[in-house]
Structure 1
């Protein structure tokens, strides 16, 4: 969680690879480490080894992702960042679905090692295609200098600082994003418990899988069109609409008493997520300083990951405490507080400056017709 801003900051300032650019060397490094660790995990036999490898893999993935994120504002003009953000989110969802699906099939056959090796090959193949196809601008090769411990600590601390003059509104954007994403993550984490405790579903796991599938399809379908729309009408309107829709849909869960109702409301929540992710990420890409995109977008992911951990940490005791007083009360309290958090996040986003100014097309001047015998 803490790696991305620091890795992004190093990527922003790197110039030692010259014609390879600032981002691609770190993407290649992170991808190589992830692939190697996946293969290593395939042979792990103890919990301690798996935990250690997994932690190292998270750090390695953050190194690659921090630089990949920085490429979007580096290479995409402002008027196309919404569309690029939509494709980015759609690709992430598609990759997640493909990985879970294929991995689940192989793991179900007892071929967990093969699943990890296939994952490593997919990571290398997809990112190699990306690295080869990217036309990143070369940078002037800089001379390496010795860096002391004090310099390294100063750089690490500075990775988490936001310059309000260079990025006006970015702090509010991160706070609003954290509150909205906290609601989404808590709903995802506690969906199966809610279904089992409140809806008397015969197979809570299957119902939860159906709910997640509906939400995932909604995100996937809306990611690209929403991004393109954000380029046309601006970032703020879609962010605010997604926040209000998500809050109202979350509050509606208090009234859900049957599985069809849950699936309908879940689809609305998924639509909110799909709209929000594309429009919000394009907004963030607009706000970041051009030379520090890796660091600032790494902070955006830090807000997302922090919201996920914090919301689930608080939601558990809240649900247990409420249900101890009355069956179902814990979930009603959870949904109500999450809706309030989403409304608060939306209010924060309303104060972030719009970055995509949409100018109306000028009206065509009426054509003049020359009449015979008349001089202008």
Structure 2
């Protein structure tokens, strides 16, 4: 529940960068009606000055500008590690908008989907509301600088592992058809003293390079299975765990996971081990042996982020996956991109034709969930359903969503 002070806070700060004053006025009026503060600029110098001084939570960016086009702005925002939600606006065709969206994603930006001109107030409100998942306490203050990724050293990472500073968060997955709980994805976070919560993209690559991924994976498996066993001993939700490509270099990984399952009295069929498309294809021969042994032990295997790698369909058919996970890039833009909808529909058909279950990640609104149900996608995951939560928050979410308690 929000405090009285929070009730008077804006839902966010929208910075509009467009050389058409009538369009900017319209966007600003709609945003203010949705509870956002808004400011408009038409010069790049003013835009970047407000970016630093005002720290907008949202940016509406026109692709076609007289002196600095939107793609160049996207590049500069990426260099600044901008954390604002970005909405691309333009009267250009859908393919150009989709390409601009992809350019932003590859810069690590939080792209909220394109807003084709002309647009309706409903379209803009939908994009603005889709990003507002957390309460207003999580918003940056106007004076705060744009955040940059945490710098992590090998010594700090080793110390964190030795002191067991890593904790697990869990994001729910539900049936697209019925809304019933299907399971959770286990996501690691680092509670680093003096830095707060550090996200995995800041430490997983270093762990893989230094060989520390093995002891870190041990903690991830132990914590996750302990939680699953204690919380859902009399139920059957599945649990997804991300698997490092380095783990596929060891044929005994299947025995290792099987031993953990036996220790916590969990059937291997309740675990889904996720590997990225690119990781699975790095050394397909070695991966084939390791993945096949995992399947023989009864584990489910999911190919993660499908659609953004470089593998061939022949290789996909060759490896023994039981699930395909559609990358959120396509899912989050499905509500306003015909191309994304066609890609998602095609992937679902391909996966079902190969006998694979399909999970869509990045579900941000009801419209997207309805679309996934229409194309017969199996499972859905995203902030519209539930954000990654610690164990206490999962208990509250279960009670609120399903009216049931966990052990």
TM-score range, shorter chain: under 0.3
- Normalising by the residue count of structure 2, what TM-score does the alignment of the two structures yield? 0.25
Question: Could you say which structure has the higher strand fraction?
Answer: 2
Q: Which has the higher contact order (CA 8 A, sep 6+)?
A: 1
- Normalising by the residue count of structure 1, what TM-score does the alignment of the two structures yield? 0.26
Question: Could you say which structure has the higher helix fraction?
Answer: 1
